Amino acid sequence: MRVFVISKNKKPLMPTRPAKARRLLKSGKAKVVRRTPFTIKLLYETTEYTQPVVAGMDSGSKHIGCAAVVNDEVLYQSEVELRDDVSRKMKDRADYRRNRRSRKTRYRKPRFDNRGNSKKENRIAPSIKNKVQSHDRERRFVESILPVKKWIVETASFDIHKITNPNVSGTGYQNGDLKGYYNIRTYVLHRDNYTCQKCKNRSKDPKLECHHIVFRSNGGTDRPDNLITLCETCHGKLHDGEFTINKKPSNTKHPTEMGIVRSQIRKLNWKFQETFGYITKYKREQKLNLEKTHYNDAVAICCDENNPNIQLSDVVYYKKHVSKGDYQQTKGVRSEKKIPTGKLHGLRKFDFIQTPDISGFVKGKRTSGNFSIMDIFGNTFKKNCRRISARCTTLTQQIQI
Query: How confident is the model at residue 359, as a pLDDT?
Result: 83
Give the count of domains, the chain: 4
Res 1 pLDDT > 60: yes
What is the DSSP code string of 230-274?
E-HHHHHHHHTTS----------HHHHHHHHHHHHHHTSS---EE
Contact assessment for residue 154 and residue 58, using Cβ atoms and an 8 Å cutoff: yes
Claim to verify: residue 223 and residue 346 sit in the same structural domain? no
The candidate with the shortest Cα–Cα distance to 128, out of 232, 265, 221, is 265
Claim to verify: residue 34 and residue 65 sit in the same structural domain? no
In a domain, 169, yes or no: no
Claim to verify: residue 73 and residue 145 sit in the same structural domain? yes
Report the percentage of the chain scoring pLDDT > 90. 39
113-117, 232-236, 314-318, 325-329 — which one is most confidently predicted on average?
A: 314-318
Claim to verify: residue 213 and residue 340 sit in the same structural domain? no
Query: How confident is the model at residue 295, as a pLDDT?
Result: 95
Running DSSP on this structure, what letter comes out for residue 155?
A: -
Claim to verify: residue 184 and residue 316 sit in the same structural domain? no
Mean pLDDT for 18-32 is 95
Helix axis angle for 253-266 and 126-145, nearest 10°, is: 50
Please report which confidence band the pLDDT of residue 317 belongs to, taking 50, 70 and 90 as the band edges: very high
Cα 365 to Cα 310: distance, rounded to the nearest angstrom:
45
Claim to verify: residue 181 and residue 153 sit in the same structural domain? no
382 pairs with which residues across the strands?
372
In a domain, 394, yes or no: yes
Name the amino acid, one letter, at 318.
Y
Mean pLDDT for 10-17 is 94
Res 244 pLDDT > 90: no
Res 385 pLDDT > 90: no
Claim to verify: residue 61 and residue 153 sit in the same structural domain? yes
Cα 391 to Cα 385: distance, rounded to the nearest angstrom:
15
Please report which confidence band the pLDDT of residue 383 belongs to, taking 50, 70 and 90 as the band edges: low
In a domain, 257, yes or no: no
Cα 53 to Cα 116: distance, rounded to the nearest angstrom:
43
Domain span at 214: 177-251
Report the percentage of the chain scoring pLDDT > 70. 94
Count CA within 13 A, CB hemisphere, residue 325.
6
Claim to verify: residue 292 and residue 341 sit in the same structural domain? no
Query: How confident is the model at residue 369, as a pLDDT?
Result: 66
186-200, 235-249, 288-302 — which one is most confidently predicted on average?
A: 288-302
Query: How confident is the model at residue 252, as a pLDDT?
Result: 79
Please report which confidence band the pLDDT of residue 204 belongs to, taking 50, 70 and 90 as the band edges: low
Query: How confident is the model at residue 110, as a pLDDT?
Result: 65
Claim to verify: residue 151 and residue 285 sit in the same structural domain? yes
